[in-house]
Structure 1
Amino acid sequence: MAWLFIIIAGLFEIVWAVSLKYVDGFSKPKPLIITIVGMIISFGFLSLALKALPIGTAYAIWTGIGAVGVALYGIFFLSESANYKRLVCLSFIIIGILGLKFFTP
């Protein structure tokens, strides 16, 4: 279950990080509420995952999922660069996440 919890935590990290972009200096309540709720859910599931996973592994996977997810959001929805160098670097993060998954006891 810990691995499922860390994946859910990472997905909600994407939610709150993306919604934070639209908060506009805390002047827009809807994205602010989404950000806060996303943070609570993300941290809650991270906390549950930490009961069984080493903190270094869990934190690296959590932030990795968030980093890759937000970068892909930027590419697909905000017209950010999708050059091959950037995609190669993102693939290294994904390889690192998978490595931690498969090589962590």
Structure 2
Amino acid sequence: MAWVYLLLAGIFEMTGVALINKLHQDKNWQALLLLLAGFGASFLFLTLAMKSLPMGTAYAVWTGIGAAGGALLGMLYYGESKDWRRVFFICLVLGAAIGLKLVS
């Protein structure tokens, strides 16, 4: 169950990152509340995952999902570059996260 919590933490981390951009565009209290809820849920699920996963593994996978997911969201929804090198390095980050799961 810890890996499910960690996956949820990463998804909420991606949501929080996307909501930073929304807050920057809209500058209203609803966007701020959504941002706080996204990051709050991310930390909640990370805390639950860390009850049975090593801290280093959980943190590395959480940040990997957040970083790769944020980059992918930027490419898909915000017109950021889709250069093959960016995609390659995103795949490396995800591969490292998968590798940590396999050895944990």
Shorter-chain TM-score tier: over 0.9
Kindly report structure 1 stretches of 4+ aligned residues shifted beyond 2 Å. 24-27
CA distance in 2, matches of 1:55, 1:14: 20
Of residues 59-68 and 23-32 in structure 1, the stretch that sits farther from structure 2 once superposed is: 23-32
- The whole-number CA distance in structure 1 between the counterparts of 2:93 and 2:87 is 10
- Percent identity between matched residues is 38
The structure with the largest helix share of the pair is 2
Between the two proteins, the alignment pairs up a number of residues equal to 104
RMSD (CA atoms) = 1.4
**TM-score w.r.t. structure 2 length?**
0.95
Unaligned runs of 5+ in 1: none
Query: What is aligned with 1:29?
Result: 29
User: How far apart, in 1, do the equivalents of 2:51 and 2:63 lie?
Assistant: 18
Q: Following TM superposition, by how much is the alpha carbon of 1:24 offset from its aligned partner in structure 2, in angstroms?
A: 2.6
Once the two structures are superposed, the pairs formed by residues 94-105 of structure 1 within 5 Å of their partners are 94-104=94-104
Give the structure-1-normalised TM-score: 0.94
In structure 2, runs of 5+ residues without a counterpart are none
